[in-house]
Structure 1
Amino acid sequence: MAKITFPIIKNFTLLVMMLVFSLTFSQNSNDIVFQGETYEMPENIASFQWSQMPESARLDNGYLGWVQFYATPSQQVQDLFKQNNLQLLEYIPQRTYLFYFPENTSVTFLRNNGVRTIVPVNGRAKLSAALKSGDYNYWAMDGDNILVTLQFHKNVTGTYAISQLAQQQIIVKENFKGQNMLDLSIPNNCLEALSELSFVKWVDLVVAPAVPDDTRGRSLHRANSLDTQTGAGRNYTGEGIGVMVRDDGRVGPHIDFQGRLTNLTNVANQSHGDGVAGIMTGAGNLLPSNRGMAAGSDVYVVNYASNFLDGSTVNLINDGSVQITNSSYSNGCNDGYTSITQTVDQQTLDTPSLLHVFSAGNSNNNNCGYGAGSQWGNITGGHKQGKNVIATANVYFDGSLVNSSSRGPAHDGRIKPDITANGQNQISTNENNTYQTFGGTSGAAPGIAGISAQLYQAYGDLNGGDFPPSALIKATLLNTANEAGNIGPDYKFGWGIVNALQAVKLIEDGHYLSDEISQGNTNTHTINVPAGTTQVRFMVYWSDVAASPGADPALVNDLDLLVTDPSSNVLEPWILDPTPDPITLNDPATNGPDHLNNVEQVLINDPAVGNYDIDITGFNVPIGPQEYYIVYELISDHVAMTYPNGGEHFQPNLAETIHWDEVNTTDDFVLDYSIDNGNTWNNIATVPNDTHFYNWTVPNEVGGNTLIRVTSGAFQDVSDDTFNIARTSVTVNVIEVCEDTAYFEWSAIADAESYEFYLLGEKYMEVIATSNTNSITIPITDPNDEMWYAVSAKNDTEGWEGERTQAKFYGGGILDCLIGVEENAFDNALSLYPNPATNEVYISLSDKTFSNFDVTVANSLGQILESKLSIDNTTRATLNVSNYSSGIYFVTIKAGENVSTKKLVVQ
């Protein structure tokens, strides 16, 4: 077999890269371009005999090889092959499949059904370009051996594969049972022999080491409108949806995940996963303003495993516990369509409700071999190149792109990243009930994952509790994204910045449909566009068949979208030019046929009223039939306020970021606010037309009838409902804890008529009592129970309520309570002095019946600062508090079954 070999991929010149693209996208040549090497496909069916196949092509009672058809076989032919147990295992470009046929297969049958060529698989086509390059990084070496991942055919068992490898003196490092995959340590000189083994399907270097992708999202994402926490608004918290944090170890402890967190890892003292989890699912129990996207989802935490075949991930997906996963890790850069890419795409096909969400990476400014320099083609990790997954780019809170955010295209020219979210400078959870500043695409991806959980719940509420297909959710997110960067999709922002509000409206309005298509057929769907529509977007999306590792392009089933308007004009979808040239890659999208992506969109501004025909054609469907989804968005507003939009709690003199959406406006935006429900208005500012946010210093005007208005020329919108401007108490403290009551005090708020008092419940901070003063006594069942508590102010007459204070922690125990002599014996035996203190504090236990005692010191947030165990000194123990900040601390003394907590003031 003749072939042209380019073994060292990373040294391609721009000219060779462009040649490969032209060969790859060509529809004329019968030869196959696979990883830069051309494999000849002779027209041999007229004279072919099975005896011509080499021994390396025999497996069990059949043959493995490549079969090429004259034309993509019809669905009838595909079904006929299945009926005759002729397995078309994977699709290779150019009408070619990897096949397994029984040894008695009739060549006449093949000839009569369009087969052109049958050849054995060249061993080099089973080896990845990285493996053939001979340039291996340290992580791929095991002494003098190479560490590789091997895929074997499903026609054989793992036991058989391992036994055959043992004969070659090959060491199995890990066996992924049930996954047809092994990690091996192999001598450098056995690659050729390994590739010629018939059961071997694909061999690649082991995946590169995992690297975390780190360096005010709810309002930018419009997720606030899905989780308003008001009786009248939407309250999609992701309840009933399982989300997975695949990261660096245990998450928490943190009350923001109260009652919803399952840690399946013992790795401790890591914070990256905590940051991811908080953005995705934090409830804001500790501090309300730090609420994440899906504050009601069930959170499962596992260690990140780069091959996605770890038992925890697979089991939680397969048993239905988890619907959405988040992985904010990189493994290499611009890796192409790898065996891991195939795995994540196939997992989505096997479990249609599964959605994998990934960070795009922080590798911009790195040249990863795409051929256009350091500003393009640097998406990190093969898994992110998947067709059925989401890779997320990173922007600041104002929607501007972070320079480090990885850019597309994918290795084969597909649109990557898919979508964009705010990841930079987020405040998220950390261990031990604290928060951290968190950033990078690591913070952007969990924003998308959390919003997806909210959309899953919205779909379930409308469909009897069923989980949606992830294809529908992904299509909805892409089709409703806010325009960013160039008009149409681009290789920086993907399809734009996520707009959760528009996405949930699409689901609620039922603006979607599904069908399936076979080779060569066309389906027509008619959708009516009503009067008053400012913009309409039609999108087709399908979860594509997993491609063969190394495939370029990776698209298997190629569908085409055409839209015919009421005047019979035919409109084509957006397309981008993936030629590896920095100028071309930055060009705006044009329109034309798309034969690279499994998503296509037609966007029409100021559309005519009437019926639109949506034609979906099976341009090339070698593995059919293919299910697809059509989603359509009908936008009627030129401008729309999105934040604040009703029910929010702002504090006077603090900065808040106002957000709004716009479509087809040209005038600047004028912003006004009202404190009397729109009767009168006060100007805030005028901002340029290309700006969609404004940092507003909230006026010192307390009230609950506040609105924001945005105006652009003749177009205007106002917050859907009023929001609050009110102060929050500065301090709240526990003063006394007795056997069955606890007493709390807080700083009073001017004009407050009442206060709501909160305790941490099963999942959230819950109002358990109301007081008309700045103190309250509540009943308790056990004085030794821990308590998280907070308070908020209200004025029902004026109609306002303030934001809840940050939750504070009390570790339990009797505190400054006058009780009976017998019960109070231990407490009376204790002395804590001086109090207040500045340097040293002495603890004395005068009762000589106690030979030792334990001392624990916690701050007002409940964080343990110091712990002294088994102090064998019944006269006095000493605490050094000279390094403590001024404030209130709690000292808990335990002797035997006796516990007492004393309040300590440090000056």
Structure 2
Amino acid sequence: MKKTTIFSFQSICFLALTLVFSMSFAQNSTDIKFQGETIVMPENITSFQWSQMPESARLNNGYVGWVQFYETPTQNVQDLFEQNNLELLEYIPHKTYLFYFPENTSISFLRANGVRTIVPVDGKAKLSYQLKNPPYEHWAMDGDNILVTLQYHKNVSNNYVINQLAQQQIIVKEDHKEYQTLDLSIPNNCLETISNLSFVKWVDLVVAPAVKDDTKGRSLHRANNLDTQTGAGRNYTGEGIGVMVRDDGRVGPHIDFQGRLTNLTAVSNQSHGDGVGGIMAGAGNLVPQYRGMAAGTDVYVVNYVSDFLDTPTLTLINDGSVQITNSSYSNGCNAGYTSITETVDQQTLDIPTLLHVFSAGNSNNNNCGYGAGNQWGNITGGHKQGKNVIATANVFYDGSLVNSSSRGPAHDGRIKPDIAANGQNQISTNENNTYQTFGGTSGAAPGIAGISAQLYQAYGNINGGDFPPSALIKATLLNTANEAGNIGPDYKFGWGIVNALQAVKLIEDGRYLSDQVSQGNTNNHTINVPAGTTQVRFMVYWSDPAASPGADPALVNDLDLLVTDPSNNVLEPWILDPTPNPVTLDNPATTGPDHLNNVEQVLINAPAAGNYDIDITGFNVPFGPQEYFVVYELISENVVMTYPNGGEHFQPFVAETIHWDEVNTTEDFVLEYSTDNGSSWTNIATVPNDTHFYNWTTANEITGNALIRVTSGAFQDVSDETFNIARTTNSYNIVEVCPSSATFEWIAVDGAESYDFYLLGEKYMEVVGTTNTNSITIPITNPDDEMWYAISAKNDSEGWEGERTRAKFYAGGILDCQLGVSENSMENAVALYPNPATSEVFISISDKTFSNFDVTIVNSLGQVLERKTNVDNASSTSLNVSNYSSGIYFITIKAGESTTTKKLVVQ
């Protein structure tokens, strides 16, 4: 990639440096580490006077700078500062804040309340690491100018800032006044001058160009258990929840989003967003097996904009239309805590029900500067390093990690990615009612976003339709994830592979609580663990205040979790060692105090029954009080069958993947199936104890009473309900369309007593008729309307039902209908020959009152294969079908206001 070496700290005015920057290995306890540099903080409060502050620190009859306390101020001191209009704007690690104080602020008041140091912010501390380390990539250059993002303080007006920048010949490219952010094109000799302007909070290079993170999820994710599509099971489709596809342009057209899709972009002919949208929210209307996670959500589609400040995104999250966003894009690698990270974290704080879900990236094998080589620290994009967002790793359908999936830690050692999901080799939607093979972390992230929508609906059903805090949903996902990789969290899988079934049970059972804690205080909660519990997990999670860009570590409010068991043993949470060493980073988690992450978990195997004390301490809470959530997972079963688990529709002698969960088993798993509701069992296989799936070729039998049983030693589980093994018809067509009815025929299925006939409704394929023959005639209101149709076979006597067929398309128009003389004129006027055809088909209209006509040929999937317009009616036209597959096609001829459709058979 081309780099441009243009940089100079020579500026039109020079301002003296105030702080001492040192790369010394020694660091005093009061020094600040900021962007890899050590900043010495002098103890100056006894002699400090406001007159010592330079002009560059004056702002609106006050001063901006850094204030350091001897100890993190208590909540009383924090409240006292607020009451006196002393603004602690952002937390800089180590008892230090960015402040704005009025010019008449009493020094003695500050001294009496624990202030140790007051210094102005040097301009260098406002410049990102990337800005201070040229040369710059080509995308950050605008001719000889540098493209930067500037943040300014909230207590200055947008007009004032723009006017001041204009005096420096600064060009404003984008203005996001709601977030006090400007994208600028600046002369290369003005960086130092700009950074020393008092209203400037932070300056960074514009974000790197966006890169798409693309390269059998429902059962691996256990999302099938939340959306069983049966009357007795759970039916969480995400209905009433708004999800956003922030991607490469329009999604669809595709009937899998029927009635639920709002495109707010004009960009077309792109397929990445289609793949993302289908995994997250496709309904499987076209092909039932390709149903996504949350098939009932309202889907909003906007273009991906890297700063998350675009108008469509802000409008939809602010007005409550959207609760969950998905962005499967990279912007750079191991970018640290940037202004964009600050934005996404702050948006979650401003809108507590908002959840941002991101792909972790496909940049493993890239060295992104963490210091441990090319297998670590390569999470892509600053937004993914956020504390209050979810970054998703990518696994195969069997739960193994895809090698390209980006790995943590985050820049400051925090656990990233947060969680893992299946993204590789997913079948998802594409444009024009087709499907595509989709992969990468681009496919993993929408799996998490869709499951989150299902959990939002589950919470709302219990809580009067309210949306849940996203902090609760994220905590639930992390605490219930299936163990993967090393025991405990790790830098490859995060907290494990998502388990939607366990997550929704936690929500349904109300196994969570919330409270708030202030600096230095401790809250105690008591949770009873019943006898027979195999494993218990206690987790505390909080949405942390946005950090200052460049902060290291990025954690602001630091809470500590301790668990005391009934025998008074004190248990500490998991911790990882973030030392930039390949061996260290791959070590399993140990336990101890965690001062990096805003999530902590204590896991106990075979816990004793009784009361457990959960202590949450405000170890360091510079911005309090801090709300937190405690979620707890009580696992009582060692083995749980998850797929198939009841109501599924399999076909005989077809490969299906069986899934089960296990905790604390040691013996191999024995798999068996029954076709008679458990009266007898047939062996499938025996697999090793570290395996949790098996590819089974289904029995070559027809039954509605099938079950799967999994056994490990003394532990066993069986599918909750029976599932189906049955055939589907392989030939079904529309044979006649008249003004008020349509007739369909199909090849009978052996053993079927009746058939359900489906048409596409407002959102889903719906049963509109049932027949005990292999044909059906249904009433219609307009013969010119398009129709999508499908069939399923069933036998009520034997209790089985086959899977619905793939939906077929009819473009509309009278078809092979015996009409009256006046009605039949257009039908009789059109000649289509030869039919059947092998190479060329001729079309002509004998009625010469029409000067021209249009021709459209469509296949049974609804795809337009060819279109001719304004064909001269003086001569016939022809269509070359020599490259078409054998089958049935529909040719629609429109002349004036008259339309007819004819069936064409290609041999």
Find out whether 1:688 has 2:705 as its counterpart. Answer: no
Name the counterpart of 1:574: 574
State the Cα deviation string for residues 676-723 of structure 1 (Å, max 9, x = none): 000100000000000000000011110000000000000000000000
After TM superposition, give the deviation of residue 371 of structure 1 in Å: 0.1
SS in 2 for 1:468: coil
SS in structure 1 of the partner of residue 131 of structure 2: helix
Q: Deviations over 1:258-293 (max 9, x none)?
A: 000000000000000000000000000000000000
Partners in 1 of 2:284 and 2:549 — Cα distance? 43
Partner of 1:178: 178
Q: Give yes or no for contact 2:850–2:873 (8 Å, CA) kept in 1.
A: no
Q: Offset of 1:38 from its aligned partner?
A: 1.7
Q: Give the C-alpha shift of residue 135 in structure 1.
A: 1.9
* Cα contact 1:515–1:629 (8 A) shared by 2: yes
1:652 alignment partner in structure 2: 652
Letter in 1 for 2:315: N
- SS state at 2:742 partner: strand
The letter of the residue matching 1:797 is S
Instruction: Report what 1:885 is aligned to.
Output: 885
Partner residue in 2 for 1:65: 65
- Give the partner amino acid of 1:584: T
> Unaligned regions of 5+ residues in structure 2, if any?
1-17
TM-score when scaled to structure 2? Answer: 0.98
Q: How many angstroms does 1:873 deviate by?
A: 2.9
For residue 886 of structure 1, report the CA deviation from its aligned partner.
Answer: 1.1
Distance 2:618 2:587 in 1: 28
Question: In structure 2, which of residues 7, 20, 24 is the aligned counterpart of residue 3 of structure 1?
Answer: 20
Counterparts of 1:832-843 in structure 2, within 5 Å, are 832-843=832-843
User: One-letter code of the match for 1:219?
Assistant: S
Q: Is the 8 A contact 2:228 2:647 kept in 1?
A: yes
| TM-score between both structures, scaled by the size of structure 1 | 0.98
User: Map of 1:76-225 to 2, 5 A cutoff?
Assistant: 76-225=76-225
Query: In structure 2, how many angstroms separate the alpha carbons of the residues matched to 1:101 and 1:51?
Result: 14
Q: Kindly provide the CA deviation profile for residues 871-891 of structure 1, in whole angstroms up to 9, marking residues without a partner as x.
A: 013341111111111111100
> Segments of 4+ in structure 1 off by > 6 A?
none
- Equivalent-residue separation in structure 1 for 2:880 and 2:711 (angstroms): 60
**Deviation string, structure 1 residues 470-519 (Cα, Å, up to 9, x no partner):** 00000000000000000000000000000000000000000000000000
Measured in 1, the distance between the counterparts of 2:768 and 2:614 equals: 55
Distance across 2 between alignment mates of 1:150 and 1:638: 54
Aligned residues: CA RMSD: 0.8
Name the counterpart of 1:429.
Answer: 429
Which residue pairs with 2:736 in the alignment?
736
1:314 aligns with 2:314: yes
Larger displacement relative to structure 2 (877-886 or 486-495): 877-886
TM superposition shift of 1:659:
0.1
* Identity %, equivalent residues: 82
> How many correspondences in the alignment?
890
Give secondary structure in 1 for the equivalent of 2:505: helix
- Aligned residue type for 2:893: I
2-side partners of 1:685 and 1:371: how far apart?
A: 45
Where 1:424 maps in the other structure, the secondary structure is coil
Query: What is the alpha-carbon distance in structure 1 between the residues aligned to residue 19 and residue 793 of structure 2?
Result: 81
The Cα shift of 1:376 comes to 0.1
Kindly indicate whether the alpha-carbon contact (under 8 Å) linking 2:578 and 2:585 is maintained by their aligned counterparts in 1.
yes
Alignment of 1:221-236 (within 5 A): 221-236=221-236
One-letter identity of the residue aligned with 2:702: V
Q: Secondary structure at the match of 1:728?
A: coil
Q: Does 1:458 align with 2:458?
A: yes
Shift of 1:53: 0.4
Contact 1:5 1:36 in 2 (8 A): no
Partner of 1:372: 372
Where 2:154 maps in the other structure, the secondary structure is coil
1:774 matched to 2:774:
yes
Contact 1:846 1:874 in 2 (8 A): no
Q: Which residue of 2 aligns with 1:509?
A: 509
State the secondary structure of the residue aligned to 1:317: helix
* Equivalent position SS for 1:275: helix
Report how far residue 394 of structure 1 moved.
Answer: 0.2
What residue is the counterpart of 1:799 in the other structure? Answer: 799
Q: Which residue number in structure 1 is paired with residue 6 of structure 2? A: none
Q: Supply the AA of the counterpart residue of 2:145.
A: N
**1:522 maps to which residue?**
522
Counterpart in 1 of 2:822? 822
The residue type paired with residue 564 of structure 1 is T
Aligned to 1:189, what secondary structure does the other structure show? coil
Q: Is the 8 A contact 1:3 1:37 kept in 2?
A: no
Once the two structures are TM-superposed, the CA of residue 758 in structure 1 deviates from its matched residue by 0.2
Deviations 1:100-136 (A, max 9, x none): 0001111111010000000000110000000000120
Structure 2 residue 331 is matched with structure 1 residue 354: no
Alignment of 1:695-774 (within 5 A): 695-774=695-774
Q: Distance in 2 between matches of 1:263 and 1:37?
A: 46
- Aligned twin of 1:470: 470
CA distance in 1 between partners of 2:423 and 2:380 (Å): 16
Say whether 1:549 aligns with 2:549.
yes
Question: C-alpha displacement at 1:2, in angstroms?
Answer: 5.3
> 2-side partners of 1:846 and 1:2: how far apart?
91
In 2, Cα distance between equivalents of 1:201 and 1:844: 73
Structure 1: runs of 5 or more not aligned: 7-15
CA distance in 2, matches of 1:33, 1:387: 19
In 2, are the aligned partners of 1:786 and 1:811 still within 8 Å (CA)?
yes
2: CA distance, partners of 1:330 / 1:65: 34
For residues 609 and 336 of structure 2, what CA distance do their matches in structure 1 show? Answer: 44
Map of 1:13 onto structure 2: none
**Alignment check: 8 A CA contact 1:847 1:874 kept:** no
**In structure 2, distance between residues paired with 1:511 and 1:535:** 14
User: 1:524-550: per-residue Cα shift (whole Å, max 9, x none)?
Assistant: 000000001000000000000000000
CA contact (8 A) 2:22 2:39 kept: no
Q: Which residue of 2 aligns with 1:12?
A: none
1:539-618 aligned within 5 A: 539-618=539-618
Mapped contact 2:848–2:873 kept (Cα < 8 A)? no
CA contact (8 A) 2:274 2:429 kept: yes
The AA in structure 1 aligned to 2:294 is A
Which amino acid is 1:249 matched to?
G
Question: 2:594 aligns to what SS in structure 1?
Answer: coil
State the Cα distance separating 1:5 from its structure 2 match: 4.8
Measure, in 2, the Cα distance between the counterparts of 1:847 and 1:321.
53
> 1:217, CA displacement in angstroms?
0.2
Q: CA deviation at 1:177?
A: 2.6
Q: Measure the CA separation in 1 of the matches of 2:593 and 2:135.
A: 38
Report the alpha carbon displacement of residue 4 of structure 1 after superposing the two structures with TM: 3.6
Mapping for residues 400-439 of structure 1, pairs under 5 Å: 400-439=400-439
Question: 2:251 maps to which residue?
Answer: 251
Deviations 1:757-789 (A, max 9, x none): 000000000000001011000000100000000
Structure 1 distance, partners of 2:757, 2:776, is: 8
The answer to whether the 8 A contact 2:886-2:905 is kept is: yes
- Partner letter of residue 33 of structure 2? V
- The answer to whether the 8 Å contact 2:337/2:411 transfers is yes
Match of 1:867 in 2: 867
Letter in 1 for 2:550: G
Q: Deviation at 1:37?
A: 1.7
Amino acid of the structure 2 residue aligned with 1:63: Y
Q: Is the CA contact 1:846–1:875 (under 8 Å) kept in the aligned structure 2? A: no
Contact 2:21–2:40 under 8 Å retained in 1 = no
Partners of 2:19 and 2:526 lie apart in 1 by 50
CA distance in 2, matches of 1:813, 1:665: 62
- What does the per-residue CA deviation read over 1:371-415, in whole Å, with 9 as the maximum and x for residues that have no partner? 000000000000000000000000000000000000000000000
Q: Which amino acid aligns with 1:167?
A: Q
